[in-house]
Every structure is written in C-alpha cells, then in structure tokens.
A and B are shown apart, each in its own frame.
Chain A
C-alpha cells in the first residue's frame, strides 16, 4: 500500500512500542494481535530501527498481511491486517 493510502487507514488498534528495544515491539505486537479479530488492522508505533525488518518477517510467518510503513519524525508506523 502507498504511504497516502496507509495514512487514510483507521486502525482497529494501535500498539505504542516507542522507546522499547528489541524484542519489545515484537512482544507488544504478539500480545495485542490476540485482542483483535481476523481481518482487522493493527498499527505498531516503534522507534527501534530493526522493527521495520522484523515485523514483516513475523507477519510472513504468522500469515498476517503486512500492509506497509509510514515514517514519522522520530518513529515508524507499521500496518498489518490480522489473518
């Protein structure tokens, strides 16, 4: 999805993992994904550079659909759709 499209998305849940280091954002995502329904959209805020590589790999393994990222000034927003 393009950045413009992603910016318009209204996420069902937002996980704010800013400030935590590996594996913080991954564990936060794992915890929060259990609280939403299949097909719903989750957004992760992370200031950890590695998360951008890790979350797509996690989505691939867990069969969630990774939608893309939006870069903000001091953090990244990562979007995914639950399988």
Chain B
C-alpha cells in the first residue's frame, strides 16, 4: 500500500516537472505574409512581448523573407530564375505593399504618411528595436532556396539564423504563445 502511494507521488512529481519545463515565457511566431500591414502587426506584437520580458522567436518563411532583404546588398551566384524572383519580389521592408487598398502603391504611400503623422514606427525602425531587445529571427532555409535568396543579401541583424521546421517546432512546443501571421 505504502509503495503504491509512493509510486503515485513519484509519478505526479514527474508530471509536475514536465509541466514546469513544458512551457516557457516565450512567444513563437511564424511570419509568413509579405504584406506590409501584416509584418507591422507581427513586429508590434513581437516588440510588445519583449517589453513583457518574454523571449521572442520569429520564424520568417515564404513571402515574409522579402522584408529582411537589404536593398543595398545583392546575392551572388544566382541562376536565371532566382534572379527573376529577386527582381519581382520586394527588395526590403520599404518596398512592401499593403494587403488591402494598395491601389498601385498609392494606398501604401498614403498609409505611410498617416503612420508618420501618428508617429507609428516604420518596419525598419521596428526591426532595429527588435534587434536591440534580443528578439531572435530564424529564416526558413527551404523558402530561401526556393526564392533564391542568399544569407548575404539579408539585413544586418544581431540574432539571425537560417534554420528548418524542426527549430520552429522545438521553439513553439515550449512557448506559451504561438502565432501565425
């Protein structure tokens, strides 16, 4: 009887420890969209979470990677299709478009004007702040290869690594909050 109770207690202790280790005060976010407004939302949530002392890990994939391109840099050794992709996709965050009401760029220009008036930080400023706050940016290697993007054409960012889905899953599994934008 005694040992049965002891076993139950040991089992419970194990479960409590698993719960404790299970989730950290951490935010994991998939940033998929390359729309200016959605990236802005992602960056506001990310920097806000960092202000709450949460560890923040952003997983940039597909269209969102365009936001991390440095307009002043070029990738070397690209084939024809990769060069075409490079030309057609926005070269850096200042070139991103709104998901709605873009109106051939007019809407995006207008919203940027309004953002300035309301002193809302631009994506470039948000990325700089994110770097200062220690927010990690992980870029999906597979998407980079598909679009022909090279690491050397990405912006200078203190915490940037190229990785795969396993990194996101590991991070997300131990995060209190997971988002997909």
Task: Please report the C-alpha to C-alpha distance between residue A40 and residue B23 in the assembled complex, in whole angstroms.
Answer: 32
Contacts of B119 in A (CB 8 A): 19-21, 24
Q: Which of A23, A58, A62 contacts B44 (CB 8 A)?
A: A23
**Residue in B closest to A23 when the chains form the complex, CB atoms:** B48
Q: Does A26 contact B (CB under 8 A)?
A: yes
Contact A27 B120 (CB under 8 A): no
Contacts of B120 in A (CB 8 A): 21-22
Q: How many residues of A contact B (CB 8 A)?
A: 13
Contacts of A20 in B (CB 8 A): 119, 121
Q: Does A30 contact B (CB under 8 A)?
A: yes
Known contacts A21-B119, A24-B119: A62-B47 contact under CB 8 Å: no
Q: How many residues of B contact A (CB 8 A)?
A: 13
A-B contact count (CB 8 A): 32
Contact A27 B47 (CB under 8 A): yes
* Residue-wise interface mask of A (29-67) relative to B, using a CB-CB cutoff of 8 A (1 in contact, 0 not): 110000000000000000000000000001001100000
Contact B121 A26 (CB under 8 A): no
Contact A22 B44 (CB under 8 A): yes
Contacts of A29 in B (CB 8 A): 51
**Residue in B closest to A30 when the chains form the complex, CB atoms:** B51
**Residue in B closest to A33 when the chains form the complex, CB atoms:** B51
Contacts of A22 in B (CB 8 A): 44, 48, 120
Contacts of B53 in A (CB 8 A): 62
User: B125 CB to closest chain A CB, in angstroms?
Assistant: 10
Known contacts A62-B52, A62-B53: A27-B44 contact under CB 8 Å: no
Contacts of A26 in B (CB 8 A): 48, 51
Q: Does B8 contact A (CB under 8 A)?
A: no
Show the binding face of A for B, using Cβ within 8 Å: 19-24, 26-27, 29-30, 58, 61-62
List 8 tightest A-B contacts by C-beta distance, closest first.
Answer: A30-B51, A21-B120, A23-B48, A26-B51, A19-B119, A20-B119, A21-B118, A21-B119
